[in-house]
Structure 1
Amino acid sequence: MEHAQKLQEVRSVLKEVGEDTLEALLMIDAIQRLGIDYHFHGEIEVVLQRLHTKFNTVSDCHNNLYELALGFRLLRQEGYYVSADVFNNLKDTEGKLQEKLSEDIKGLMGLYEASQLCIKGEDILEEIGNFSSQLLNAWNTHNDHSQARIVRNTLGHPHHKSLARFMAKSFLSDFQGTDGWVNVFRELAKMDFNVVKSIHQKEMLQVSKWWKDLGLAKELKFARNQPLKWYMWPLAVLPDPSLSEQRVELTKPISIVYIIDDIFDVHGTLDELTLFTEAVNRWEYAAVEQLPDYMKICFNALNGITNEISSKVYNDHGWNPMESLRKAWACLCNAFLVEAKWFADGHVPKADEYLKNGVISSGVHVVLVHVFFLLGHCITKRNVDIVDDFPEIISSVAKILRLWDDLGSAK
């Protein structure tokens, strides 16, 4: 009851926000950083629509550096068109960013955050990103108080490249102010944090029980046994607390990605890996019968999970994704086998060759195909064909993860 009352109080605050552009921006930023924005999508959209019109027509809102940077970031990250040219006004007559900007630490943090939404070719955003990070790092070396910690956090974890749900507790401790709405937001965030924490704890218990009952940790002792670590993937990809069932279900194929990866990396012989890949491509029991016992156990688990999720998607959304899921698993195993053959032959692939295969072996496509079907948004023949064909929106994510993972493990 108290939680519902606080939700209504915040809705009222958002509906009543006046013509003060900066205050409206600060409210939306706080809501998003506190991880409670999933309650207020409609209210936030109304405010941003009004701000977008004002941002593009009223020059007064560009006089405050922090307001300019924050407005640009919030609007652009929600998909509104905002030209990066608004930042050209920060330059002096010689075309350089004004020196006086270095005096506004909060404004510089806003500039750095805004620069994270740079699109290729937007030189001004790259320039303000470098400019602000250099000044903030220099300022930080001479200061050691609470704002310095906030500056370090901004540089290390800009909002656009962070997960709000994981950063919310840290932001809450720094979220202070004299405005009445600040306390209302704080109180709701504290309540919401406990509600969501309880949801996640229940999910972790479900995942742990499922993994134990599956028995792979007992049967395949060479493989990783990290179900709660694998659960972090769905927690990051599907942060909305209402998607509890989808997070638990998504953990299942993610776990199999890691198990199959271990089979290819640390246990299977090349002949066995070839047979396993053929079995996944054919998805027939006759092919499975040729496998060694540990691979049969893995395939049976994969088959069971695929059947279970296919049945769930069909019941919930009226589409049987079996063919798409099997195709995605076959592509993954094919890519794993390519890497296994490279290793066996001592072949060092060229960068382009490696990356072309690596975006598939990252496992991202398998995971996001499952996300697409579990969410059930706009499942049509056309959209399914697009997802099956490894579209750029998926391959780009896979490329980032592949390179990030390789950089993390490079010696």
Structure 2
Amino acid sequence: MDPLPPGRGEDRSATTEPWGGWIRRRRSIGSTDLPPPSRGGTDPPPPGSSNRLPTPRSGGCGSGHGLRRAMSRAADPGDGGAWAAGDNDQEPCSSKFQEETAFRSWPSSRCSTTSTSSASSATVRRTSSSCSSNAFRRFKGEDGRFINTGIADEPRGLLSLYNAAHLLIHDEPELEEAISLARHHLELMRGGGGLKPPLADQINRALGLPLPRAYKRIETLHYMLEYGQEEGHNVDLLDLAKLEFNLLQHVHLKELRNFSQWWKNIYGYVHLSYARDHAVESYLWSYVVFYEKDLVLSRMIFAKIFALLVTMDDTYDDYATIEESRKLNEAIQRWDESAISLLPEYMTKFYNTLLNNFKEFEAQVDVSGQYRVLRIKKEFQKLSAFYLQEAEWSHQNYKPSFKEQVALSTLSSSMPLLCAITTVGQDDVVTREAFELATQHNSAVLACGKILRFMNDIAAFKSGRKNKGDATSTVECYMNEHKVTGEEAIARIDSIIEDEWKTLNEVRCEHPQVLPVVQRVMNLAISVPFFYNKRSDAYTSSKYLHKIVECLFVTPIPI
């Protein structure tokens, strides 16, 4: 995980304290200084009871016109004016501040046209439009290679080039060369020690994770600190961004308390001690996908289903026998209370909880959106079948080929289910076309699934973690099939991951008419390096997340 700004949070990497007690001590969740809860923010009842939430209006991603205008102005070195949001933009102020001021900082008047072209290309690509990589050919010499003369004097321009080039799609060798060139020189600059904050910090973060793949809210925290160090920064704009972040932080903290209470009731009711007790991590994953204030319903449904699928995954992987796994899948495919008789005693309460919660989800959405909950239920059933198939392979000691393992484990990554959940609670944003894009096993959904599967498998391989029922991982399959070392297999898989990011960028360019849903799918992809960056599994080993959780939900930004 990238370090957070100084003074934001504290290092608690060695703690084993449960999340609930830690958060309560850091800040009294029930204190009277909190604003009234958002819609649906009341404490949840015990499992099985009704808790209908009003359907919130969509927060959406906005039309994108304000961002497009601001970033188009950013591409003009002579424009020193502040950005202005469009009338239809609905994203929180602090995140728009981070995005727009961050991109505006690329092409300052002190930088060459490298910055300008990088920002212009990034603007077009990020707003889901087609943009040719030919814009970068002007920086090549007669031999077809990028010109190196004077480039070491332009760290800001190189950073712009490096970040913008990561929006590349397939068959863009110019951008691949640009990434290699920029990384080489940025690493030399970093090693030389001549860089100063905040640029040095921005370069360090980008070399670890390029800006287009970084989580927006974490970058907001970084950039608010860094923007305040810039000469001539707008103090009022910065204070408004901090205030908005703090107000939204109150809302999210209240939600986290409610979700934690829901999970406490569930976990105590089902008595499955082998299942991961990760309420905060489940909510955090949902928060990465939906952080906007008005998407409380989407956020809570996502977090609840995520916690339930993790419990199902742990049942297949860690505890159930193959006979019990077959019975569990049979019951889930039937999806009826009469199927409880099929299950062993310890599974009955979990199955009952699963049925009851999906009934609640149907009741919480408008009638016009209930078909989406039904599609999510079908994806949940499919996920159970994929888990069973993996359990069968493990039981039979079957050694799949790399291609077979990737095909199955991409689907068992849960990403097709998670993509479907992104459509819930946004009735005025998600058209039929957008719904189909998010719920079909198309290139975008499968690309997200492969990124999650590969990064999860690499983290597990590096840590030596392997559960009882786990099938052979993609890393192990590649090693066995090609007779290579683990590091060689990981290097090859890393290149496949890069190809999947290109696929996602291509989808964003090809579907501008359904940009809000495409962006939710992109957020799901971004959530993967958020949890699995640096070859570690921060979801399972939550000690890596303490500081991040504190900064996002507990500690206000000083104004």
Does the CA contact (< 8 Å) of 1:25 and 1:71 recur in 2? no
Query: Once the two structures are superposed, what CA deviation does each residue of 1:4-29 show, in whole Å capped at 9, x if it has no partner?
Result: xxxxxxx9xx89x9898236599569
Pair 1:36-2:93 in alignment: yes
- Indicate how the Cα distance of structure 1 residues 368 and 232 shifts in structure 2: closer, same or farther if over 3 A, else same: same
User: CA–CA distance in 2 between the matches of 1:369 and 1:339?
Assistant: 22
The AA in structure 1 aligned to 2:446 is S
- Indicate how the Cα distance of structure 1 residues 341 and 26 shifts in structure 2: closer, same or farther if over 3 A, else same: farther
Pair 1:364-2:415 in alignment: yes
Does the CA contact (< 8 Å) of 2:369 and 2:427 recur in 1? no
What does 1:326-341 correspond to in 2, within 5 Å? 326-341=377-392
- Determine the structure 2 residue equivalent to 1:117: 167
Q: Whose Rg is larger?
A: 1
- Indicate how the Cα distance of structure 1 residues 186 and 19 shifts in structure 2: closer, same or farther if over 3 A, else same: closer
- Determine the structure 1 residue equivalent to 2:144: 95
Higher RCO (C-alpha 8 Å, min separation 6): 2
Does the CA contact (< 8 Å) of 1:163 and 1:236 recur in 2? yes
87-96 vs 111-120, greater mean Cα deviation: 87-96
- Indicate how the Cα distance of structure 1 residues 18 and 214 shifts in structure 2: closer, same or farther if over 3 A, else same: closer
213-222 vs 278-287, greater mean Cα deviation: 213-222
1:402 to 453, 456, 459: 453
1:84 to 108, 133, 145: 133
What does 1:7-406 correspond to in 2, within 5 Å? 21-22=76-77, 36=93, 64-99=113-148, 100-143=150-193, 145-146=196-197, 147-175=199-227, 176-179=229-232, 182-216=234-268, 219-315=271-367, 317-377=368-428, 387-406=438-457
366-375 vs 155-164, greater mean Cα deviation: 366-375
The AA in structure 2 aligned to 1:71 is S
Does the CA contact (< 8 Å) of 2:298 and 2:424 recur in 1? no
Report the count of equivalent residues: 378
User: CA–CA distance in 1 between the matches of 2:191 and 2:280?
Assistant: 38
Does the CA contact (< 8 Å) of 1:314 and 1:320 recur in 2? no
Identity %: 22
User: Tell me, what secondary structure is at the counterpart of 1:355?
Assistant: helix
User: CA–CA distance in 2 between the matches of 1:30 and 1:127?
Assistant: 34
Question: Scaled by the length of structure 1, what TM-score is found?
Answer: 0.83
Task: Note the C-alpha offset of 1:355.
Answer: 1.3
Query: Once the two structures are superposed, what CA deviation does each residue of 1:46-102 show, in whole Å capped at 9, x if it has no partner?
Result: xx9xx9xxxxxxxx9x96221221121122111233221111001122222112222
Query: Once the two structures are superposed, what CA deviation does each residue of 1:158-200 show, in whole Å capped at 9, x if it has no partner?
Result: 22001110121111111133436x3232111211121121111
- Determine the structure 2 residue equivalent to 1:8: none
Does the CA contact (< 8 Å) of 1:102 and 1:135 recur in 2? yes
Task: Note the C-alpha offset of 1:126.
Answer: 0.5
Give 5+ residue unaligned stretches, structure 2.
1-65, 463-559
Task: Note the C-alpha offset of 1:244.
Answer: 2.3
User: CA–CA distance in 2 between the matches of 1:67 and 1:194?
Assistant: 33
Task: Note the C-alpha offset of 1:379.
Answer: 5.6
User: CA–CA distance in 2 between the matches of 1:25 and 1:375?
Assistant: 37
- Determine the structure 1 residue equivalent to 2:529: none
- Indicate how the Cα distance of structure 1 residues 378 and 140 shifts in structure 2: closer, same or farther if over 3 A, else same: closer
User: CA–CA distance in 1 between the matches of 2:310 and 2:172?
Assistant: 39
- Indicate how the Cα distance of structure 1 residues 157 and 389 shifts in structure 2: closer, same or farther if over 3 A, else same: closer
- Indicate how the Cα distance of structure 1 residues 281 and 190 shifts in structure 2: closer, same or farther if over 3 A, else same: same
Which is richer in helix?
A: 1
User: CA–CA distance in 1 between the matches of 2:385 and 2:137?
Assistant: 50
Does the CA contact (< 8 Å) of 2:274 and 2:319 recur in 1? yes
User: Tell me, what secondary structure is at the counterpart of 1:373?
Assistant: coil
User: CA–CA distance in 2 between the matches of 1:128 and 1:30?
Assistant: 31
- Indicate how the Cα distance of structure 1 residues 129 and 384 shifts in structure 2: closer, same or farther if over 3 A, else same: closer
The AA in structure 1 aligned to 2:357 is I
Does the CA contact (< 8 Å) of 1:223 and 1:262 recur in 2? yes
Does the CA contact (< 8 Å) of 1:231 and 1:251 recur in 2? yes
The AA in structure 1 aligned to 2:77 is L
The AA in structure 2 aligned to 1:137 is E
User: CA–CA distance in 2 between the matches of 1:223 and 1:94?
Assistant: 59
Query: Once the two structures are superposed, what CA deviation does each residue of 1:92-136 show, in whole Å capped at 9, x if it has no partner?
Result: 222221122222111000000111101111111001100000000
- Indicate how the Cα distance of structure 1 residues 217 and 186 shifts in structure 2: closer, same or farther if over 3 A, else same: farther
Task: Note the C-alpha offset of 1:273.
Answer: 0.5
Question: Scaled by the length of structure 2, what TM-score is found?
Answer: 0.62
Does the CA contact (< 8 Å) of 1:314 and 1:321 recur in 2? no
User: CA–CA distance in 1 between the matches of 2:175 and 2:382?
Assistant: 38
Does the CA contact (< 8 Å) of 2:372 and 2:423 recur in 1? no
- Determine the structure 2 residue equivalent to 1:5: none
User: CA–CA distance in 2 between the matches of 1:214 and 1:128?
Assistant: 51
Does the CA contact (< 8 Å) of 2:166 and 2:179 recur in 1? yes
Does the CA contact (< 8 Å) of 2:162 and 2:182 recur in 1? yes
User: CA–CA distance in 2 between the matches of 1:19 and 1:111?
Assistant: 14
Does the CA contact (< 8 Å) of 1:217 and 1:224 recur in 2? no
User: Tell me, what secondary structure is at the counterpart of 1:196?
Assistant: helix
- Indicate how the Cα distance of structure 1 residues 255 and 368 shifts in structure 2: closer, same or farther if over 3 A, else same: same
295-304 vs 319-328, greater mean Cα deviation: 319-328
The AA in structure 1 aligned to 2:93 is I
Query: Once the two structures are superposed, what CA deviation does each residue of 1:219-277 show, in whole Å capped at 9, x if it has no partner?
Result: 11111111011111111111223212321221100001100001001110100100110
Q: Root-mean-square deviation (CA), in Å?
A: 3.2
Does the CA contact (< 8 Å) of 2:163 and 2:212 recur in 1? yes
Task: Note the C-alpha offset of 1:382.
Answer: 6.6
User: CA–CA distance in 2 between the matches of 1:125 and 1:371?
Assistant: 31
Give 5+ residue unaligned stretches, structure 1.
1-10, 52-59
- Indicate how the Cα distance of structure 1 residues 245 and 179 shifts in structure 2: closer, same or farther if over 3 A, else same: same
User: Tell me, what secondary structure is at the counterpart of 2:192?
Assistant: coil
Does the CA contact (< 8 Å) of 1:217 and 1:225 recur in 2? no
370-379 vs 104-113, greater mean Cα deviation: 370-379
